[in-house]
Amino acid sequence: MNNATKPQGCTHLKLRQLDRVVTRHYDQYVARAGLKNTQYALLSHVIRLGPIRPGDLARHMQMDASTLTRNLQPLAAQGFLTIGTGSDARSRLVQVTEAGIAKRAEGQRAWRLAQTALNERLGEARVAELHLLLDACMASLADETGDDGL
């Protein structure tokens, strides 16, 4: 391996920097729908997977359960989600409301604009390559840690 192909610097730092830049990009668009990226992602997951137990939702989103609980509260307070009882008194289920479905649709329109703008800025081929690389990295790390990658 020559110096041109040898990794330089901290991979974690570079990923965090890229994450912050990309998050700001999407935030600019999704905020037009009155949502944060995390809220849009939560609504999308609950619509796709719900009704769902909070613990299962946290696993699917690769999120800490306490972080998920904190992020669910504003969406429930705004009437976009309900957090009700599950199959027994100790379990809970997260469900989307009609208002949540409408808000997610509004957020999805903004997200599509953000994705199109990112594709144009970076080039669709580069974005596709990035997706393949990220998926391969996540699969390799999931194999190493025994995580299922969900």
- Whether this prediction's pTM lies above 0.95 is answered by no
CATH class of 15-145: mainly alpha
Show me where the domains of the chain are located.
15-145
Kindly report, residue by residue over 37-87, the tens digit of the pLDDT. Answer: 999 999 999 999 989 999 999 999 989 989 999 999 999 999 999 998 877
Residue 17 Cα to chain centre, angstroms: 17
